[in-house]
Structure 1
Amino acid sequence: MKKEKIIIIGAGLGGLSTGIYAQMNGFETVLYEKNPVPGGLAACWKRKDYLIDGGIHFLTGHKPGLSLYNVFKEVGVHKAEYVDIDTYARYIDERSGITIDISADLDKFQADLLLLFPDDQRIIKRFIKSTRGITKSDISEFGFKEPMELMRTRDWIKEFWQNRKVLKYFLGKSMKPVRDYVKKIKNPILKDLFLYMFLPSVPVAFLWMVLGLVAQNQMGLLAKGSIDFARKMEERYLELGGKIEYKSKITDILVEEDTVVGITLEDGTTQKSDFVIAAIDGKTVIYKMLDGKYTNDKINKIYSEWKTVDSFVSVSLGVDMEFKDEVWMTFIKSTDSVTVAEEEEENILIRFFNYSPHFAPKGKTVIQVDFETEWEYWFVLRDDKKEYNRVKKELSDNTIEWLEKRYPGIKDKVEVIDVATPYTYWRYTVNEKGSYMGFLPTADAFTSSVEKRLPGLSNFYMAGQWSMSMGGVQPVIYSGKHVIQLLCHDEGKEFHTESD
C-alpha cells in the first residue's frame, strides 16, 4: 500500500518534530527549508573561532524526572549535551549597589530577599511558598498531552484531577500579569527584580513555574549551542526515513477546489503531496501564501490583536578574557543607559557563555548583550544599507564602552563583534516582526488555543510556534506531535510513537 505523502514547510524545531512523528506513523515526508541548516530560530553561527548562539536561552525536559523527558527521547534531543542551572540569573541594581542571585536554593533566595527587603516580607514569603507548591506535581505536560482540538470534557476533568495539587497556582490572581502583581511591592528594586525576571506580561504563575523547575534541578543550558539541539532532531528524523531539501524556499501553496495539493518552490517547480503542513510564520502562510481566503473571526483576531514577543537586538562579542565568576545570565539596571534605536535603554541583559568550552577557545569567552528594541525602526533602516551598518557599529561601540566601565580592559580584548537585529531574525525566519518566541505569553494566551487547521481548507495543517498560543522549545516540539495526532484522527488512523 502506497504511503500518504506530507510536505512540511520549514525545518525549524516545529517542522522537525512534525516530520519525526509523521515518520513514526507511517507517512512519507519531505521537509523543505530555505536555509542551509536546520533549527530555524534555534540558530548558531561561527565568527572566527567563536560560536555565536542566537537561539535557545534555556530549557527543561533535558533529563529524567519529568514526563517531558519522554518527549525529548522521542525526538532525539536527549542525546544533546546539557549543563544544569544552579542559578537562574543574577540581578544587579547599580543605583543601589545591590546584587541578587536567583538561586535554585529557595531557602537561600528567600533569606536573601527578606534581608534586603524586610518591608515586603509578606509578598516574598507568599511568592516562595507558591514556587515550592508548584513543584509538588510534574506539570511539564500540563495542557500538552493532547491537541486542544481533540480534548473532550472528560479529558479536561482527568487532566485537572491529575494536577489537582497545583491547580490553584494557575487560577484567579495567579494568572495576573507580573506588571500588575508587583504593584503591591513597596521596594522599587524588588519590583524591578520581578518585572525583569522574565517578561512583565507573563502571569506570575509562570515565574513560579520557572523557578520551581530550577529548584528541582530541571532547567538546563545547551553545552554545544542551539544547533546541537536542532542537529539531534535532524538525525532522529533522517534515522526514521525522512528527507530534507535545504536551500529550498517555498513561495506558494497549491490549492485546487479548497484542497491543498502541493507547493511551489522559488525556482518555479512544483511538488505534489497528499498533505501540506506549514511550520513557518503563520501570518505569511495564512495571509500571503493562501491570500487570506481561509480564516474566521478567531484567526483574524489572533493575528490582528495578539501581541508578539518584543523584538531585541543582540551584540555578541568574542573576548580574550575569562569570566569564571559571572552568572550565565545577568540582568542589570544600569546607572548609565545605552542608546538603542534612538531610545535610551537602562535595562540590560548579558549572557556569559562561560559554562562550556564549545563557544570559545580556551581562556576566551563569548559575551552577548541583549536590548529590547522596536521592530519598525530596524525594518525601515535596512533599506539604507550604509546607514544600517553604521547604526549597528555605533551600537556595538557604545556597548563595548559600557562594558569597559564594568570590566576594565575588555575594550582591548574584543576579537569578534557580531550584531543581530530584529531584521536579521526576520530575514532568516520571516517571523512576524522578527519575533524570537511567537505570541506574547499573556494570561489570555495561557487559556487560549490556536487551531492547526484552517476553516474551509482540506489536507492542510499548521505546526510550530504560530500554531500554539505561546512560543518556546516545549510548545514548539509538542506542536509537531499534536499536528500528527490530529492528522491521524482525521484519517482514522491510530497515533503511536516508536516507544509504543
Structure 2
Amino acid sequence: MKKIVIVGGGISGLTSGIFAQKYGFESIVLEKNSVAGGECTGWDRQGSHIDGCVHWLTGTKKDTELYDLWCEVGALDGIDIINLDYYYMFEYDGKKICFYNDYNKLREELLSVSAEDSELIDEFISACKAVESIEMPTSKPMDMMSIIDMMKLGKKMMSGFGAMKKYSAVSCKEFAERFKSPILQKVFRSFMPDNYSISQVMFSYATIVSGNGGIPVGGSKAMAMRMADKYKSLGGQLRLNTSVDEIIIKDGKAVGVKLQNGDIIDADYVISACDANVTLQKLLRGKYVDKQLQPYYDDLENNPLQSNVLVAFAVDGDVSNLPISFIFDSEKYEIAGKTEDRVGMRVYSYDKSLVKNGKTTITSYISQNTQQFDYWKKLYENKEAYKAEKTRIAEEILKRILKHFPELEGRIKIIDVATPATYERYCGAYKGSWMSFMSTPKSKQSQGHNGKIDGIDNFQISGQWIYSPGGLPCAVATGKFAVQRICKAEKIKL
C-alpha cells in the first residue's frame, strides 16, 4: 500500500486525506495547530463563540458538483443550510438600502434610491444573472479533462464567461462612479476595495441569489470538525500539534518530511496543503520556483491580497432588531495608517447554535492590505503596543456601533480582536491573507495550477492559493485533484 503524507490539516489537506483513504492509500495528515480546519475555524472567548470564516459557502445548492463534493467529504452531508433574505444592508446619508437576495426586489430597492440610474441597475442585474452559470468543475482537474469534457464545460458556462471577462476589466470604483446617485456610488464601493474587479461582487451576489451560497448550521469550525471525523472514520491518521520543518527531496523526488522535532516520516508521495508561500519558502527551503504562482507574488499591486482586522463583541439579550450584515457610514477613525469612514457588522443571530449563554456574537471586519500587514507585523514585535492598539481599535468600533444602536448600551462588550498578524501566526497565511490573490482589471488572468512544482516528482501542492478565486471551494477541489493526479500516476482507475 502506497503512503501519502499530507502537510496541513485545513480543508484542502483533510480532503486529500479523505480521497487518499477512499482510493486505497495509507495517509497521514500533519497539522501544526491543536485543531484541524486551517482558516475554516472558530473559537470561544468569554463564553461566546466567534465564527472566523464562513459568511456564505459556495456549493450549498443541491444537484451541483460542488455540493456533492462537500457532502462526500462530510462537510454538508445531512446538514441544514441557512439562506438569508439579503446579501448586505447599507445605510448612507440616513438612507437604508437592502441588497435583497432576489433580483426583482433588488431592482425595486435600487430604483427607489435613484430611478435615473435604471439602465446601470439593469446592467448590473443582467451581469449577475449571466455569471450564475459559472460553476466550479470538481469531478476532475482540467489537466485531466478530455477535449469533450472541456467542450461541455465551455458550452455550459459560455454566457457567464463572457460577463466575467467584460467586468473583470472594470474596477469597483470605476463601476460605482458610473452611478448618478452619490448613495449608490457609496454602496457599490463598500463591497470590496476600489481597485478590485466588480466581477467579484457580481459573482458573489449571484451565487447567493441562486441559492448556492448558503450557510451551514453550526458554522465554520463545526464543518471542519465533520471533515476531520470523516477522515478518521476512513482509517486516516490525523496528527495535531505536529509541525513540519522540511519536505525531503532526494534525486528530484519527494520521499517524506522532517518534523520540527527532528523525526522523519517516509512517504511515496507528499501533498503540501498549507499556505503556498510556506511550502515554497520554508518547507522547500526556497530552492524551487513555482513558475505558475511566481508572477502573482511578483505583482501584488495588480494581484492584491485580502486581509482584515476582526473585532468581536458579545451582546446580551434580544438582537432581533439588528440587521445581520450591515455597513454604515461613521465618524472617521484611523487604523494601520489609513482613515476609515464606515463600519461593517455581522450579527450571528441567524444560527441559534452559535448563540451561547444568551449572548449573540457580533463581528466587525476592517479590510487591510499588504502595507497594513507590514504595520501589524512590526507592531507585534512590541506586545504591549500591539495589545494597546487592538484595544483602541475595538473601542473605536464599539463607540460607533453604540452611536448607531444606543439600545445596546450596557449589553455589549468586546471579547476579542484578531489582526493580519494573527492570521499569519496561526494559519501561516501569507501577508495575513485569508483569501488567495484577488482580481483587478490588471490582474494576471485566472490561474489553473496543475499541482506540480518543476523539478519535484511524487509531489503535489494544493489549497486555495493555486486555484482562482481562492477560498474554501478551491481548497476542497484542489485537495481532491491532488489525489486524483497521484491515482493517474499509479494507474488507479477513478
Shift of 1:128: 1.5
* Cα distance in structure 1, aligned partners of 2:407 and 2:108: 35
Moved more, 38-47 or 445-454: 445-454
Of the three residues 295, 299, 310, the one matched with 1:314 is: 310
* Cα distance in structure 1, aligned partners of 2:196 and 2:304: 12
* 1:160 and 2:157 aligned: no
In the alignment, which residue of structure 1 is the partner of 2:260?
266
Query: Is 2:48–2:357's contact at 8 Å kept on the other side of the alignment?
Result: no
Query: Is 1:254–1:261's contact at 8 Å kept on the other side of the alignment?
Result: yes
In the alignment, which residue of structure 1 is the partner of 2:242?
248
* 1:419 and 2:413 aligned: no
Q: CA RMSD in A?
A: 2.1
* Cα distance in structure 1, aligned partners of 2:254 and 2:160: 43
Query: Is 2:61–2:211's contact at 8 Å kept on the other side of the alignment?
Result: no
* 1:359 and 2:354 aligned: yes
SS in 1 for 2:329: strand
In the alignment, which residue of structure 2 is the partner of 1:480?
479
Matched letter for residue 402 of structure 2: E
In the alignment, which residue of structure 2 is the partner of 1:369?
364
In the alignment, which residue of structure 1 is the partner of 2:100?
103
Structure 1, unaligned stretches of length 5 or more? Answer: 496-500
Query: Is 1:311–1:436's contact at 8 Å kept on the other side of the alignment?
Result: yes
Query: Is 2:5–2:27's contact at 8 Å kept on the other side of the alignment?
Result: yes
In the alignment, which residue of structure 2 is the partner of 1:498?
none
Query: Is 1:81–1:224's contact at 8 Å kept on the other side of the alignment?
Result: no
1:86-125 CA distance string (max 9 Å, x none): 21111111xx211111101211110111121122111111
* 1:208 and 2:206 aligned: no
Moved more, 287-296 or 111-120: 287-296
In the alignment, which residue of structure 2 is the partner of 1:339?
334
Query: Is 1:87–1:327's contact at 8 Å kept on the other side of the alignment?
Result: no
Matched letter for residue 47 of structure 1: R
* Cα distance in structure 2, aligned partners of 1:359 and 1:173: 37
In the alignment, which residue of structure 1 is the partner of 2:384?
386
In the alignment, which residue of structure 1 is the partner of 2:90?
91
* Cα distance in structure 1, aligned partners of 2:197 and 2:147: 25
SS in 2 for 1:428: helix
Q: Report the TM-score, using the length of structure 2 for normalisation.
A: 0.93
Matched letter for residue 464 of structure 2: Q
In the alignment, which residue of structure 1 is the partner of 2:455?
456
In the alignment, which residue of structure 2 is the partner of 1:19?
17
1:388-437 CA distance string (max 9 Å, x none): 11111111222221211112153422345201111111110111111111
Query: Is 1:223–1:355's contact at 8 Å kept on the other side of the alignment?
Result: no
SS in 2 for 1:323: coil
Matched letter for residue 227 of structure 1: K
Query: Is 2:394–2:414's contact at 8 Å kept on the other side of the alignment?
Result: no
* Cα distance in structure 2, aligned partners of 1:351 and 1:190: 21
Matched letter for residue 353 of structure 1: Y
SS in 1 for 2:76: helix
Query: Is 1:314–1:421's contact at 8 Å kept on the other side of the alignment?
Result: yes
In the alignment, which residue of structure 2 is the partner of 1:303?
297
SS in 2 for 1:171: helix
* Cα distance in structure 2, aligned partners of 1:461 and 1:432: 19
In the alignment, which residue of structure 1 is the partner of 2:48?
50
Matched letter for residue 316 of structure 1: A
Query: Is 1:15–1:279's contact at 8 Å kept on the other side of the alignment?
Result: yes
Matched letter for residue 64 of structure 2: L
Moved more, 151-160 or 188-197: 151-160
In the alignment, which residue of structure 2 is the partner of 1:350?
345
* Cα distance in structure 2, aligned partners of 1:446 and 1:194: 23
Moved more, 420-429 or 439-448: 439-448
In the alignment, which residue of structure 1 is the partner of 2:116?
119
Shift of 1:244: 0.3
Query: Is 1:446–1:469's contact at 8 Å kept on the other side of the alignment?
Result: no
1:420-459 CA distance string (max 9 Å, x none): 1111111101111111112214464663223311001111
Query: Is 2:46–2:415's contact at 8 Å kept on the other side of the alignment?
Result: no
Shift of 1:175: 4.8
* Cα distance in structure 2, aligned partners of 1:298 and 1:53: 33
In the alignment, which residue of structure 1 is the partner of 2:470?
471
* Cα distance in structure 2, aligned partners of 1:193 and 1:399: 20
Query: Is 1:29–1:243's contact at 8 Å kept on the other side of the alignment?
Result: yes
* Cα distance in structure 1, aligned partners of 2:304 and 2:146: 29
In the alignment, which residue of structure 1 is the partner of 2:432?
434
* Cα distance in structure 2, aligned partners of 1:316 and 1:343: 21
Structure 2, unaligned stretches of length 5 or more? Answer: none
* Cα distance in structure 1, aligned partners of 2:203 and 2:417: 32
Shift of 1:39: 0.7
* Count of residues paired in the alignment: 487
Query: Is 1:85–1:220's contact at 8 Å kept on the other side of the alignment?
Result: yes
Matched letter for residue 181 of structure 2: N
SS in 2 for 1:91: strand
Of the three residues 124, 127, 132, the one matched with 2:129 is: 132
Query: Is 1:450–1:469's contact at 8 Å kept on the other side of the alignment?
Result: no
* Cα distance in structure 2, aligned partners of 1:483 and 1:327: 41
* Cα distance in structure 1, aligned partners of 2:177 and 2:414: 42
Moved more, 377-386 or 307-316: 307-316
Matched letter for residue 331 of structure 1: I
Shift of 1:268: 1.1
Query: Is 1:332–1:349's contact at 8 Å kept on the other side of the alignment?
Result: yes
